């Protein structure tokens, strides 16, 4: 079938006083029906801007979606060209969003039931009583007990984990075809993080909703993503299945990200490394590979020519790194990475 979302050559800039920040520099990917796509990278890599642009949440100005960009939803509608009133129908109804911090995205002055009902009333013909009933069902779906009482509680009466469950219920209220979760567990402590990820996986299986999961932490996606795109400096540097990325990664930046994830299967005591250095300034993106300044394998060509994506297996795994050129020197994977 057709993909639920097809992002093609997305370019997003911010026009600032000091110049133009090229936050997203030609990103393309597809999300199939029922698929979980993870977008992974450090803060500032453009992953959140990509997500917020799909929801058209960034005001313009200062943001600009560059001509030639397209965001095809459900095979027909180009979100990049939609008006605000068209987007109001898409948001919440076709695409749901879960944010990092439920406390700032929930309304403190309204009960949980009233907030979930709001979306249902806006996008369906349900009565108030029906919407409230559906709210209680959604709270049960996201694992909250006593849903009939919970609907009358306010966000501040709930724990952080419970609030994130409410956000998830809210995002599911109108049976969206696509759910975008931007760092959904970052604000939560570790045990609650695992519970929320289990919940998302569970809901994905039950409802067959497609999910875009945005995170800086590859560990978070390990049990859930079907496909992963790794972003760096506004571009996709590697795309593949979960297995490709975890067991046969082909980009030094992916290797760096993997070294900062605790491995479940081996060397539990290995020290976790963060990648030395900082990403480039996107006011003036570098010529050549944007990772070159931090890459231990950088060659002369890396500093001169930006690598295209090299096809790794003919099945969707690709990496934008010169090491995958047939004439490149053979490099051993760092210890602890790959199979």
- Candidate residues 199, 302, 312, 337; the one interacting with ligand SF4 per rule CB under 6 A: 302
291 binds, among ligand SF4, Mg ion, none (CB under 5 to 8 A by kind): ligand SF4
321 is an interface residue for ligand SF4 by CB under 6 A: yes
Write out the two tokens for 143.
Answer: 């694992």
Minimum distance between the CB of residue 132 and Mg ion, rounded to whole angstroms? 33
Write the DSSP string, 66-111.
Answer: PTT-EEEETTTEEGGG--HHHHHHHBTTTEEEE-S-HHHHS-TTS-
223 Cβ partners below 8 Å, 6+ apart? 197, 201
Longest Cα–Cα distance of the chain, Å, equals 67
Interatomic CA distance for residues 109 and 154, integer angstroms: 7
Q: Which of residues 6-35 bind ligand SF4 (CB under 6 A)?
A: none
- Which stretches of 116-202 are assigned E, i.e. beta strand? 178-182
Binding mask 93-132 vs ligand SF4 (x if CB under 6 A, - otherwise)?
----------------------------------------
Write out the two tokens for 304.
Answer: 């001169």
252 is an interface residue for ligand SF4 by CB under 6 A: yes
- Candidate residues 33, 298, 333, 334; the one interacting with ligand SF4 per rule CB under 6 A: 298
- Candidate residues 292, 310, 317, 337; the one interacting with ligand SF4 per rule CB under 6 A: 292
Indicate the residue among 158 and 295 with the shorter CB distance to ligand SF4: 295
- Candidate residues 297, 334, 336, 338; the one interacting with ligand SF4 per rule CB under 6 A: 297
Dihedral Cα 328, 263, 28, 291, nearest 10 deg: -50
CA 332 vs CA 51, 172, 248, 250: distances in Å:
34, 45, 12, 11
Residue number of the CB closest to Mg ion reads 48
- Candidate residues 21, 295, 312, 337; the one interacting with ligand SF4 per rule CB under 6 A: 295
Q: Which residues of 70-94 are buried (b: 16+ CB within 10 A; e: fewer)?
A: ebbbbeeeebbebeeeeeeebbbbb
307 binds, among ligand SF4, Mg ion, none (CB under 5 to 8 A by kind): ligand SF4
Q: How far apart are the first and last CA of the chain?
A: 33
48 binds, among ligand SF4, Mg ion, none (CB under 5 to 8 A by kind): Mg ion
Indicate the residue among 113 and 307 with the shorter CB distance to ligand SF4: 307
Q: What are phi and psi of 121, to 5 degrees?
A: -65, -35
Write out the two tokens for 86.
Answer: 């068209």
How many residues contact ligand SF4, by CB under 6 A? 14
280 is an interface residue for ligand SF4 by CB under 6 A: no
142 is an interface residue for ligand SF4 by CB under 6 A: no
Write out the two tokens for 285.
Answer: 């993106």
Q: Which of 234, 271, 225, 226 is nearest to 253 (CA)?
A: 234
Indicate the residue among 65 and 180 with the shorter CB distance to Mg ion: 180
> Taking contact as CB under 6 A, which single stretch among the options 65-73, 204-212, 238-246, 317-325 is the one that binds ligand SF4?
317-325
Interatomic CA distance for residues 107 and 114, integer angstroms: 10
166 is an interface residue for ligand SF4 by CB under 6 A: no
Minimum distance between the CB of residue 181 and Mg ion, rounded to whole angstroms? 11
Indicate the residue among 149 and 281 with the shorter CB distance to ligand SF4: 281
322 is an interface residue for ligand SF4 by CB under 6 A: yes
- Which residues here bind Mg ion, judged by CB under 5 A? 48
- Could you tell me how many residues make up the chain? 339
- Candidate residues 80, 312, 323, 337; the one interacting with ligand SF4 per rule CB under 6 A: 323
Site for ligand SF4, rule CB under 6 A = 251-252, 289, 291-292, 295, 297-299, 302, 307, 321-323
């Amino acid at each position: 079938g057709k993909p639920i979302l097809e992002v093609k050559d997305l370019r997003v800039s911010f026009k600032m006083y000091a110049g133009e920040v090229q936050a997203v520099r030609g990103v393309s990917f597809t999300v199939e029906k029922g698929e979980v796509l993870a977008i992974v990278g450090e803060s500032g890599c453009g992953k959140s801007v990509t997500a917020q642009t799909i929801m058209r949440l960034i005001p313009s100005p200062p943001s600009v979606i560059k001509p030639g960009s397209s965001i095809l939803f459900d095979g027909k509608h180009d979100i990049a060209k939609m008006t605000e009133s068209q987007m109001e129908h898409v948001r919440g109804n076709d695409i749901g969003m879960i944010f990092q911090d439920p406390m700032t995205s929930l309304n403190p002055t309204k009960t949980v039931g009233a907030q979930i009902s709001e979306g249902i009333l806006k996008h369906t013909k349900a009565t108030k009583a029906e919407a409230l009933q559906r709210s209680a069902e959604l709270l049960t779906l996201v694992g909250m007990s006593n849903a009939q009482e919970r609907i009358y509680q306010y966000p501040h009466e709930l724990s952080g984990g419970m609030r994130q469950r409410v956000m998830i219920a809210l995002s599911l209220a109108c049976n969206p075809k696509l759910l975008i979760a931007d760092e959904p567990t970052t604000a939560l402590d570790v045990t609650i993080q695992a519970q929320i990820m289990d919940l998302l996986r569970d809901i994905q299986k039950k409802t067959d909703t497609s999910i875009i999961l945005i995170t800086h932490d590859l560990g978070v996606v390990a049990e859930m993503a079907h496909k992963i795109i790794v972003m760096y400096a506004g571009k996709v540097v590697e795309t593949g299945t979960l297995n490709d990325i975890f067991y046969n990664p082909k980009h030094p930046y992916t290797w760096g990200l993997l070294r900062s994830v605790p491995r479940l299967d081996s060397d539990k005591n290995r020290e976790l490394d963060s990648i030395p250095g900082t990403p480039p300034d996107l006011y003036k993106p570098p010529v050549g590979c944007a990772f070159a300044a931090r890459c231990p394998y950088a060659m002369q060509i890396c500093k001169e020519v930006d690598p295209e994506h090299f096809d790794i297996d003919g099945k969707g795994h690709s990496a934008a790194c010169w090491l995958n050129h047939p004439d490149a020197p053979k490099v051993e994977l760092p210890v602890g990475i790959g199979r």
